[in-house]
Amino acid sequence: MDTKITRALISVSDKAGLPEFAAALAARGVAILSTGGTARALRAAGLEVTDVSAVTGFPEMLDGRVKTLHPAVHGGILARRDLPEHMAAIAEAGILGIGLVCVNLYPFAATTARPDCTLDDAVENIDIGGPAMVRSAAKNHADVTVVVDPADYASVLEEMDGNEGCTGLELRRRLAVKAFRHTGAYDAMVSQYLGARLDSGTKYPEELAVSANLDRICRYGENPHQSAAFYVMHGITEPCVSQAQVLHGKELSFNNLADANAAIEAVKEFDEAPAAVIVKHMNPCGVAMRPTLSEAFRLAREADPVSAFGGILAVNRPMDAETASVITEKNSFFEVIAAPSYEPEAYRILTGAKAWSANVRILELGSLEGWRGKASGVDMRSVVGGLLVQDRDIVALGADDLTCVTERQPTDEEVAELLFAWRIVRHVKSNAIVFSRELRLVGVGAGQMNRVQSVRLAVGQAGALAQGAVMASDAFFPFNDGPQAAADAGIRAIIQPGGSKRDQETIELCNASGIAMVYTGRRHFRH
């Protein structure tokens, strides 16, 4: 049996819609209990409020740390109305029932997102009494309505109006589940933040708490018969797909988000000059770095114009009008364009093209400068029934990290080219092979079951451009057949991790072919 709501406890940090909701409750005969800033806000709106301290008989203590943790509060929330002994117990103690608990928690996420947030600031914004009240009300949802989101105010009032001041069990159950998710996400957020700062000796904790908010429901997943959603994790300050602002375009799909992430992460590799990366089905199909962004884009598209059409474009410099004009040339289209920012004229060109405006999505990333210092520490991937967690593969490699193993040493120009190709191959699905020439991608072999086939694919794409190009391999060559195919195509230098039992055969092949080869001692498998 539903119980009419006659008393409500309201204590919120998010005060959106609060005066209107509280006024509507009061108009329906509901007495309001409150605390601190919420009570002051309600009184300022002309509402009659009873302080919780008047109910508990104790003033708020310890700078507000203790105010609602009292039997007079939790007894009124947790008492089961269907058990006479419960009702007798609270009656004997002089405790009145509380039928509605409207609480949302201290702004821990907003506080810790501030650049100047200290550990003390964060700790003071860990809510204790709020989660206790929310969990008490959610546990006793058979009798008590719990509200943690202002978006639910209207539903509560509507049900009260249609049910003689009561809410229905179905609504209470839904709100209880939402409340437990709210406190669970809050606790996960706190544990993530404190774990990163206070538990440095535990890289992989016994229990992994992950906190993320629903950002959007996707139209569908990888395929139309699959449903999908996008969740955004808390505490991320790195420029990335989850933090990007959508300036224009229709809803991003599941595949758009995955591909945009791949393109953005790849273009972040390049900071010394304007660069453009084009991704199709999670693999780079065009990459170039040049003194101007327009030229970088043009050469990136030329690497594979067929695959580039309908792909995802990411650039590492503000989008200018000249580049936007090249992007919107005839027979060119991109599902998503991501850039740190957009010049007004560039934005007008991209969104004004008749064939583009209804379909292209425009993402603004913000500055990419210093992104490694803001990078979140782990990569998480789902498998059925579990999560795989690992360090992110973002360690930069320089010339001093290379070991030449051939008779011919690479020139300075070749070293720069090899490092460019190495940065690209990190983002290609294994087995991964990249050919680059003059700081642009000219051939790629991705996702093959054997490495020599990836080399052959790169040779086929590069064609005549393979002559004088360099090759990057994400892992060692188990045999020298891949390097032989590259040598036959005219490759002049190779970068690879090394470590095969047959390395000497590959070294001898390179020496015989005049190829310079360097080892990194680090592989880049990407499954």
Q: Which residues pair with 145 in a beta bridge?
A: 100
Q: Characterize the bridge pairing of strands 493-496 and 516-519.
A: parallel
Q: Report the SS3 class of residue 69.
A: coil
Phi, psi of 216 (to 5 degrees): -165, 155
- Give the chain's radius of gyration (CA, Å): 30
Within 140-284, residue ranges assigned H as helices are 153-162, 169-198, 254-267
Q: Report the SS3 class of residue 399.
A: helix
State the distance between the two ends of the chain, measured CA to CA, in whole angstroms: 55
Q: How far is residue 356 CA from its own chain's centroid?
A: 27
Length in residues, the chain = 527
CB neighbours (10 Å) of residue 43?
A: 13
Interior angle at CA 63, CA 61 and CA 68, nearest 5: 50
The answer to whether residue 139 is catalytic is yes
Cα gap 479→448, rounded to integer Å: 16
Query: Among all chains, which residue has been given the structure tokens 């000219």?
Result: 442
Cα separation values, 84 from 6, 90, 109, 136, Å: 19, 10, 42, 19
Amino acid, single-letter form, for residue 389: V
Residues of 251-270 as b/e, b for ≥16 C-beta within 10 angstroms? ebbbbbbbbbbbbbbbbbbb
Q: Which two tokens stand for residue 250?
A: 């229709």
Catalytic residue among 15, 86, 139, 178: 139
Cα gap 192→159, rounded to integer Å: 38
Query: Among all chains, which residue has been given the structure tokens 């139209």?
Result: 219
Catalytic residue among 281, 330, 374, 524: 281
Query: Among all chains, which residue has been given the structure tokens 């740190």?
Result: 340
Closest CA to 278 of 298, 252, 255: 298
What is the number of H-type helices and E-type strands within the chain? 20, 21
Cα gap 478→404, rounded to integer Å: 19
Q: Which two tokens stand for residue 196?
A: 């990163």
The answer to whether residue 281 is catalytic is yes
H or E stretch at 206: none
CB neighbours (10 Å) of residue 193?
A: 22
Cα gap 91→71, rounded to integer Å: 12
Catalytic center residues: 139, 281
